[in-house]
Amino acid sequence: MGLQAGFTLPVTGQLAAPVPPARSSSLPGLSFSGAAVVGTMAFAALRCRTATTGRRPARRFATAVTATAVTEPPRGSARQRVAFKPGDELVNGAFQVTSVDPIAAYNVTCIELLHKKTGARWLHVDCDDSNNVFNVAFRTTPVNSTGVAHILEHTALCGSERYPVRDPFFNMLKRSLSTFMNAMTAPDYTMYPFSTMNAVDYFNLLQVYLDAAFFPKLTKDDFLQEGHRLEFKDPSDPDSGVQIKGVVYNEMKGAMGSSAARFGRALSSKLFPTSTYHHNSGGDPVNIPELTWEDLRSFHANSYHPSNARFYTYGDLPLEETLAKAQELALGRFEARDVSALDVANEVRYTEPVRLETTVPEDAVVTDPTKQTTVSTAWLLVNQIEESDSLDSFALSVASNLLLDGPQAVFYEALIEPGWGTGFAPGTGYGGSRRETSFAVGLKGIAAEDVAKVEERILETMERLARDGLPRDRIDTLLHQVELGTATVSTRFGLNVGMGVMSLFVHGGDALRPLRVTEKAAQLVEKLDADPNFWQDLFRRRFVENAHRVTVVANPDKEYDAKLESEEAEKMMQKSAALSEGEKKIIAAEAEALKAAQEAATDPEVLPTLTVAEAVPKLAQTYSSEHCQVAGVPTQYDFQPTNGITYISAVFDISKLPDRLVPYLPLFTRFLDELGTKQRDFKELAEAMKGSTGGISAGVGATPSLADPDDCKLELSISSHALDRNVSTMFDLLEEVILGASWTGQDARLQMLLKRRAAAAGASISSGGLGYAQSRATSLLRAEAALDERMGGLPHVAELQRLVRQDAIDEVSSALVEIASHVFSSSAVSRCRLVAQKEAMPNAEKQLARFLEAMPSQKEAAGTGPSLGEVVSNFSSPEAERAFVAVPTQTNYCALALRTVPYAHPDAAPLYLLGQAMSTCFLHKEIREKGGAYGGGSSAIPTSGTFMFTSYRDPNSTATLDRFEEAIKWAATEGSLSARDVEEAHLRAFKNLDAPRAPSARGASLFSAGLDDASRQLFRDRLLACTAETLREVAERHLLGNNNSAAAIVGNASAVPVTHGVDGWTVLGPDGRPLVPA
């Protein structure tokens, strides 16, 4: 669906097991950009919550299907170690080991196997990590943009041969303690990954996933629901005209609704003129209605076969047991097949550069209407299958970082600093996730007359690189980031590797590429030492002499979405007029059949499940923290196995800050390390931080009291981390930045940063509609949310535009100086936190003390007006409000928030559980299956005392708010929820609460929110005590008839369903101004 968003270092991913190994990962090319991969959830956390569970499971579990207890095999470091060698045969000769590769850098052993009968390939990563992963992927190579691969990914999960129930996937979300469940469609493959800590759960999910992938039902009803269908506007009137509905259809309307998505798609299509990458694998809404049910079934039959499959497993469970299950449940039923027709052919290379001019939607808010053009130049580069032995792809990913990352980067200086545009163009970076890689660079937010200058500068820069190369010290700095990323311990190592391997594995390439980072880095250093012209030769071959170069220029069309809507309406009008009576009867019959299927009671008991009594520990996971004073400041010590990294957090009280400075706080935290210091300019500072730390981050927020969410601590936090050997340097840089930031004298730099920030915020409204809707709704209910709205909601977007339009550099600079003088003082430091291994803590404590002692005393300021603390303490929740924010998008994002009870209240836990139950038992069917939204649900936020309903990429607007109200009535009605529903809600709740935490995060909730062990255990006890009647009572008590609520919809500007000032509605434009009817 577009180019990958560039090379990012580091992408980390090791699970922090109770006794974690010295293993983690910095994996270039691993993360999928939203433009590159679409999925059943597509990372929106709406269709399925990407939940994680963080405890080693109890030693015995039972499934409801078999009702027999099973004993887990030895786990973790006590597991049975693999002792395979190439040529070994497993599972009665069904599998043959083809290679065994220990990877010392990550303390894992990789075993590749061949399924002899079908030719299926299997990669297993053996380690002592208890968060086991399974993934199966198929090459899926569409020849059009009907979205067949994407719609198949959805429908495959809607029922299968062994589990002929409606939607096994969603049912398993609430019958499992999975740490991850999803399915994703990439440009040339589709994959089905899951992970879990629980051994029984692992094999439960394994059989469901295998059956879904290889033996799905693919019914006509499921195709109509998930893909597309025609329905009458008035279901009872066949003469009312038809409209298109479908989950994927609406998902892709949302996905393709931004200028960035449309530009990326145009660039990808032009860069790949003949291969499968030319097409939109997720589906273009214009083309999706062309797909037939028969096309879908044929695509599955051709693509979802073991001969075309790649399997991946990871963790501490015995490999042979998984192989035996796969053989029994799926692979043993197939014969080998020739799947060479699915091979992705090499792209036909251009013999001379080509150019495309196109249009894209206008961003929701634009500061300068005369500068909205986007231009990018892209090259097709390395064939990773035919050039598998080449170091070029890794070197180009490193080069991409040096060309683009930070103010010292080559193209930052060449393109951003001249001030032509507001930022890099969408798709800028190295795209390494396809069979053939690419690099793109360009600018957005430029004047049309500057296009030629930008193109010329790009080519000049590439010629200069081919002549001069890259400075060696920059490479060394980047390699430090590789080392730091490799050492960073996170919770998703196995999962990230499992998704990262597939981009080459499905094409027969090197499956271990994500694990060869340190090996490739060493090879690169060796090459650089041996060949002083390495970079010059690389840039000459891959760029200067490369004729396969594409330039795309896009100009905004304010009516882009309206035209699409008009074209669709015209097609539907013509379709309606041409329908015969027989065709009308078919449409009516299909709609009736689908409705009946959606309403039909299902018996999910055929599906395996865990039980709360067996699978959920009664005691919450605890982490011991120590507390003492460092230089008079309360400090929390968390001794954790951080793999040689020290983490620091310092929190500053901002309650006395003048409230008038709040609009500038987001700029203060954003620009803290971007303007340079008294000792270094901003480029030198960026290079210094990159060479010795993981960066400096800052944030502002209100931390609610557990007893009263409106009683907030108002704080600014600063954090950083570094390898233990660099801790002293890290604190030096923190002190330098905090006490010596160049808030004045940097007018040109500050102006550029403001313009980029304003442009990014204006462009985010359409694609980030759900966040803005939630922020708007909750801001009327709680003081902390009101502060968040001022600093990150629509008011902040409008304020940024004002500052840029008025060129208010002096105003901003003065405000930033004033904030720094208030915040960074010895009296304002409220608490600190250190996370490190025991042997590293004394030095960390020493450096922290030195840092704190350097803090100056606060200077008193006169005539500052009311303080932030005073304004927040005087917050009062107004009457219920409903707002519609009209933006350029084809779908809607709906939110309804209700003020409820604080975390410490006895009803907070039941409300939290009710949110889980309502999502799966009522809203999923009403919002997604019937309504056609991509996602929707409900959730309680106990720490803020609110309850939230949401929908995502929703074709409906006010009708969805009606469904939210119906959900409340349903939940308050006796008999709506069963004991089984509550059991499943418990599993969903605890997979969230018991999420695995990286060493750096253990103890974080105590530090940031005051959630001590006793509070968490009491909340857990109250959860476990909940019954169906408990949930009904809290719904009745706190949700039914609750007028302390607010609703917000960020939605389609061409189809606003309400009028400003009528029936309590406020209608706003994306700039926050009321849209008053003429």
Q: How far apart are CA 315 and CA 724, in angstroms?
A: 28
For residue 1054, give both structure tokens. Answer: 């061409």
Helices marked H in 174-246: 199-214, 220-226
Cα–Cα distance measured from residue 838 to residue 644, given in angstroms and rounded to the nearest whole number:
10
Q: Among 20, 23, 125, which Cα is nearest to 76's?
A: 20
- Secondary structure element (H or E) that encloses residue 893, with its range: strand 892-899
* For helices 1013-1024 and 908-918, angle between their N-to-C axes, nearest 10 degrees: 50
Does residue 153 have an active-site annotation?
yes
Tokens of 320: 């042979």
Question: Interior CA angle at 689 toward 685 and 691, to 5°?
Answer: 115
H-helix or E-strand containing 100?
strand 95-103
Asked if 459 contacts 443 with a C-beta cutoff of 8 angstroms, the reply is no
Query: Which residue is catalytic, options 112, 153, 347, 784?
Result: 153
Question: DSSP assignment of 916-979, as one string?
Answer: HHHIIIIIIIIIIIIT--SEEEEEEETTTTEEEEEEEEES-SHHHHHHHHHHHHHHTSTTSS-H
237 burial (CB, 10 Å; 0-12 / 13-18 / 19+) is exposed
Contact 646, 637 (CB under 8 A): no
Q: What is the 3-state secondary structure (H, E, C) of 124-150?
A: EEECCCCCEEEEEEEECCCCCCCCHHH
CA distances from 159 to 156, 185, 407 (A): 7, 19, 51
What DSSP state is assigned to residue 569?
H
Q: What residue has token string 């690189």?
A: 465
Q: Fill in the amino acid letter for 1031.
A: L
What is the number of residues in the chain? 1078
- Report d(CA 499, CA 312) in Å as an integer: 9
> What is d(CA 1067, CA 424) in angstroms, rounded to the nearest whole number?
33
97, 86 in Cβ contact below 8 A? yes
Nearest-angstrom CA–CA distance, 369 and 763: 13
What is the C-alpha separation between 698 and 711, in angstroms, rounded? 22
Write the CB contacts of 965 (distance below 8 Å, at least 6 apart in sequence).
none
- In whole angstroms, give the CA distance from residue 150 to residue 187: 10
**What span, in angstroms and rounded, lies between the C-alpha atoms of 292 and 144?**
13
Residues 3, 439 contacting (CB under 8 angstroms) = no
Q: What are phi and psi of 494, to 5 degrees?
A: -60, -40
The DSSP code for 728 is H
Four-point Cα dihedral 722, 723, 725, 729, nearest 10: -10
Cβ-contact 762, 727 below 8 angstroms:
no
Pairing type for strands 946-954 and 892-899 reads antiparallel
Enumerate helices (H) and strands (E) in the chain, giving the number of each.
35, 32
**Residue 263 · residue 554 · CB < 8 Å:** yes
Q: Please compute, for residue 780, the number of CA atoms within 13 A of its CA located in the half-sphere on the CB side.
A: 21
Cα separation, 1052 vs 1066, whole angstroms: 15
- 525's enclosing H/E stretch is helix 517-530
Most distant CA pair in the chain, distance: 84
CA-based nearest residue to 489, from 73, 21, 959, 1012: 21
Catalytic positions, please? 153
